[in-house]
Amino acid sequence: MSSAQRREQLISVARRAFAERGFEATSVEDIAARAKVSKPVVYEHFGGKEGLYAVVVDREVRALLDRITRALTGGHPRVLVEQAALALLDYIEEDTDGFRVLVRDSPVMSDSGNFTSVLNDVAHQAEGILGKEFEERGFDPKLAELYSQALVGMVALTGRWWLDARRPKKEVVAAHLVNLAWNGLSNLETAPDKLMPE
């Protein structure tokens, strides 16, 4: 096996191990045993568990962001919300191990390259879309960031639930997410904080 092939094998084995057990519960010994290599081989390629985990997570982050970006093909903002929701649910269905790696525990020193950073990137994309929509409707475009975080959070938490539930079908889940988000958004008050009792 060439060095590049061995590296890919270790990444694949580690991805499964991190998905099944999480970062903390997976050891270099586990990965080496699954790959049928010695521990020094893992250290030689990645410097340790943290280095290997970083490579696995980086690949998953890029895969998920690419999938969501490709799914956002334009059209009405309602369609964009549905496209983003379906892209996440597709990823969960087709790359379950990858999604589990992203949502499981991560090293304390990791503040990027995890599911939260992916959600922030997606929310940033949504913020641009919502900002334009808010301007056209006379809402404060500065609030687009708040609403994009809320929308992405709603979809992400539903995705985590659907990871294990797998019912109803992803198209139905996406339709209900859009129903909640869109029908709520279509009736937004321009200043909801002014309506709250003091």
Q: How confident is the model at residue 112 (pLDDT cuts 50, 70, 90)?
A: low
Share of the chain above pLDDT 70, in %: 91
> pTM to 2 decimals?
0.80
Tell me the two tokens of residue 145: 């960031």
3-25 mean pLDDT = 96
In SS3 terms, 56-125 reads as HHHHHHHHHHHHHHHHCCCCCHHHHHHHHHHHHHHHHHHCHHHHHHHHCCCCCCCCCCCHHHHHHHHHHH
The full set of domain ranges for the chain reads: 57-186
Average pLDDT, the chain: 86
Lowest mean pLDDT among 90-94, 115-119, 161-165: 115-119
111-121: average pLDDT: 70
Name which residue leads in pLDDT, 148 or 104: 148
* CATH number for the segment(s) 57-186: 1.10.357
Closest CA to 130 of 115, 120, 140: 140
Given a cut of 50, is residue 140 above it in pLDDT?
yes
Tens of pLDDT along 153-168?
Answer: 898 899 999 999 999 9
